[in-house]
Amino acid sequence: MTEFETFLRGLGLLKNAVVSQLTWSPEAEALRFEIDDLYGHFKGQAQYPGAVSGVIELREVRRVSFDIDTTEEKLIIFDFDTEPLDPGRHLATVTFWPDGIVRAWYGLATFPQIDSPGSRS
């Protein structure tokens, strides 16, 4: 499992996180997710540390597909999952509630270095 996959799983696949901005830059081969609260999945639970915003950026994006219903007021993540493909390539699948999906085939991911609520002492 990659460090990025560990990050996502530690945050409950970012379920209930709100994407405040989604930016696709074809020239830079980058897809950027600005997220209001990385810990959104844990809101209302004892281990919820409070809201922490952050940015996830997929780089070396060579293919991307969007199917998002733009009538929704917010992009609320249902799952942000990844899977390995060829060596050095991955597929990110981000599903939104109640409807919508983004798929990106990428090489690298950058993300905040934060603790998952389960790893806090």
The alpha-helical segments, DSSP class H, found in 24-92 are none
Residue 41 pLDDT > 80, yes or no?
A: yes
Question: What pLDDT, on a 0 to 100 scale, did the predictor assign at position 17?
Answer: 96
Task: Average the pLDDT over 29-54 and give the result.
Answer: 95
Residue 121 pLDDT > 80, yes or no?
A: no
Residue 78, CA atoms < 13 Å, CB-side half-sphere? 11
List pLDDT tens digits, range 10-32. 999 999 999 999 999 999 999 99
Question: What pLDDT, on a 0 to 100 scale, did the predictor assign at position 116?
Answer: 75
Residue 40 pLDDT > 70, yes or no?
A: yes
CA–CA distance from 16 to each of 36, 66, 75, 97 (Å)?
Answer: 10, 19, 9, 8
Strand 63-68 with 108-110, pairing: unpaired
List pLDDT tens digits, range 52-96. 999 999 999 999 999 998 787 899 999 999 999 989 999 999 999
